[in-house]
Amino acid sequence: MLKRRLILACSLVAASGVSMAQTYPNKLIKLQVPFAPGGTTDIIARIIADPLGKVLGQSVIVENKAGGGGVVGANETAKSTPDGYSLGIATVSTVAANPAINPKNPYNPLTDFSPIINIAATPNVIAVHPTFPAKDYKAFLAEIKKNPGKYSYASSGTGGIGHMQTELFKSLTGAFITHIPYRGAGPALNDTVGGQVPLIFDNLPSALPFINSNKLVPIVVAAPQRLSQLPNVPTFKEVGLEPVNRMAFYGIYGPKGLPKDVIDKINAGVKKVLEDPAVRKRIEDTGSLVVGNSPEQFAEQIKAEFEVYKKVVDSAKLRLD
């Protein structure tokens, strides 16, 4: 009798999984951005959300949950029900940089999520307010090294990619600038553009409009080669700082235990969206590169990026402020 009950229970669980996959989605889907509005993560999420909702047949709404350099929002995604209705935007900050430097990080980036797809990769940039006394990399480095502690930089949050890469830049150059963390790139950009903070390390898509309108001056970029949008700005590799020359990424993940059929359905939906020339153009116009890989490839990318930043933290002896 017990054996028959166990068989029946297993059959019901299997049937419910099949049923869920067949009916998913049948209600609104939340896509959480772990930063304040206005940053690159928010931009990419909003480019994808509406067309993805049309492909899946249910609305996909973007919610912002800022705090802890992306940790607060990422942790909420990790702890959500694995039914496909609570998804999150995965960034280098949330799955690599912050977990690598923060021993109290509340989730494991390699085991507490179900990777679904990497949407895009994007360059990063150090930019300064137009009143900053230097306008190119050589003069910039000379200015901050000549005046240790005089200048500060804004980032999207403590432990985020902007914080980590700037601290690595400091350790490699011997420069000293003070970190001012914000609850996302949007607020950090606002204060840099407003002149309250003289420089920022940010993802290119959110900084580029201010660069194009001459409200920020680009100094150096993290990218495989010089960018068509900024042809006169060198890469970190060009200036001898290859370890800092790493791009950011923006993907979609859910909590661990997300059914494979649901993962595959979302992955296929995003890939279909990325086939739209208008969507691709909106992403590429930000300076980003469209990716659109498999869940397995994205999982490997997250693992590789985490290992890179763990080595950066250990070798440079980086610590939280």
pLDDT for residue 177: 97
CATH number for the domain formed by residue range(s) 23-119+250-316:
3.40.190.150
**What DSSP element (H or E) covers 39?**
none
User: Alpha-carbon distance 267 to 220, whole Å?
Assistant: 34
CA angle at residue 17 from 14 to 23, to 5 degrees? 140
Note whether 118 and 297 are within 8 A (CB): yes
- Return averaged pLDDT per consecutive 10 residues of the chain, 321 residues in all: 54 52 90 95 96 98 94 97 98 95 94 98 97 98 97 92 92 95 93 98 94 98 93 98 93 98 98 98 91 98 94 80 59
Superfamily covering domain 124-244: Periplasmic binding protein-like II (3.40.190.10)
Residue carrying the six token digits 């999420």 = 45
Structure tokens at 189: 């950009």
Same CATH topology for 23-119+250-316 and 124-244: the answer is yes
Closest CA to 124 of 28, 227, 50, 53: 227
pLDDT for residue 97: 93
- The answer for residues whose C-beta is within 8 angstroms of residue 214's C-beta and 6 or more apart is 130
pLDDT for residue 14: 52
Residue carrying the six token digits 């309250």 = 196
pLDDT for residue 317: 79
Listed by start position, the domains of the chain span 23-119+250-316, 124-244
Residue type, 287: G
Query: What single DSSP character describes residue 96?
Result: I
Note whether 263 and 107 are within 8 A (CB): no
pLDDT for residue 312: 83
pTM equals 0.85
User: Alpha-carbon distance 116 to 239, whole Å?
Assistant: 35
pLDDT for residue 21: 57
Exposed e or buried b for every residue in 264-295, given b needs 16+ CB within 10 A? ebbbebbebbbeeeebbebbeebbbeebbbbb
Structure tokens at 162: 């902007």
pLDDT for residue 244: 93
Chain segment 182-229, per-residue pLDDT in tens: 989 999 999 999 999 999 999 999 999 999 999 999 999 999 999 999
